[in-house]
Amino acid sequence: MQDDPLTTSNTANYMVDANASKETVALFYNLKRLSRTKTAIGQQDAFNSFYQDAGGESDIKKNTGYDPAILGSDFMFITDKNNNEQADNWFYQQEQKIIADTKNAYAKGMINTFCWHLREPFKEESFYAADMSAEEKAVAFKSILPGGANNEWYKKKLDKIASVVSSLKGANGELIPIIFRPFHEFDGSWFWWGADFCTADEYKKAYQFTVDYLKNVKGVHNILYAFSPDNSYTTEANYLSQYPGDKYVDIIGTDNYGDFNNQGQTGADKANSKLKILSDYAKAKVKIAALTETGYRVTNTTPAIANWFSTLLYSALTKNDIEISYMMFWNNNTDGYYTPNNTASNAVDFKTYSSKTRSALVNSLPKMYEMPK
């Protein structure tokens, strides 16, 4: 096993934020150490999006008896133009629910990660490029950069994020650490920050601006920053083409659905080779590697794939000695699921996967917010 230079006393040196709170520093250290032996399993909206709207415990807990190790949330409703911070406002109610879920996850010893489906700066109605005019698509991303027409607008959105993240506190008043994954899947062009709508240089500038503003201007010190393209890369150089730099990124991630979409072992091996690129880079640079989104969605018309979790996904996360700290499934909803509850046809396959040696639900996590003694 390769020894990296990370110790309990030098961890902050390898992080984006040298002034990170002690719980945030501990989270970085523990995620990095965890990856040597296990991959934490997460799900987006695990506490409130259920297959067939069956409320109660998370679908993962219904199946396995344990909550996931990671809770995924989104700043989308929190920064929505219609959030007026009044008690009777639907968007504000979503904000309150997300804050409560985040605190609940932290109290359970889970890890919190946030993405941001930020709506475009003109009408603020959609994050999908397909819903925008050609003119809007051409200028939207450039307009939020420093000096751009919508940079002040963008700063106000970041102000809102800063105020929410700074208000996330545990039982002893300590700040709750989160992972933040801005402008994800930028190598595709489905989002308005995608490849067709910004240059590599513009992307790097926006990412750097986001980090610098939250950390230095707003003084937010409970964030780990994740970088996550979709799965289009095949080489390290390709992966790093829009990378804002080691000073700006804690977590080397990727979203990958395509390689798992009915591609069998061939697809799983492709996913593994892409994850190996991340794992190797994370080992060399003392960063954390993660599969930041994945899954295969089962519906009434799309049946489960036999052994998808226990064989295909598990092999992708473990072959070739890779070290992937965590992975996250997308959310379940009324008519489809990524993680089966206890009644779904592939419930046993998921349960088998989650109890394998290198898998971790919340019950097999160490204390993530304390340095080991």
Compute the C-alpha angle 312/318/322, nearest 5°. 140
> Which CA distances in Å does 73 have to 105, 151, 253?
11, 25, 16
Nearest Cα neighbor of 49 from 30, 68, 23, 27 is 68
Alpha carbon distance 191, 202 (integer Å): 15
Cα distance between residue 95 and residue 111, in whole Å:
18
Q: Are 260 and 308 within 8 A, CB to CB?
A: yes
Other CB atoms closer than 10 Å to residue 255's CB: what's the count? 22
Q: Which of 276, 231, 240, 297 is nearest to 258 (CA)?
A: 231
In terms of C-beta density within 10 A (0-12 exposed, 13-18 middle, 19 or more buried), how is residue 120 classed? buried
Query: What is the 8-class DSSP label of residue 367?
Result: -
Distances (CA, A) of 339 to 40, 238, 349: 14, 31, 10
CA atoms within 13 A on the CB side of 41: 30
Q: Which residue numbers are catalytic?
A: 185, 293
Q: Tell how strand 359-360 and strand 178-181 pair up.
A: unpaired
Phi, psi angle pair for 235, to nearest 5°: -135, 165
Q: Note whether 316 and 271 are within 8 A (CB).
A: yes
- Closest to 296 in 3D by CA, of 278, 279, 310: 310
Rounded Cα–Cα distance for residues 78 and 240 (Å): 30
What is the DSSP-derived secondary structure letter of residue 325? -
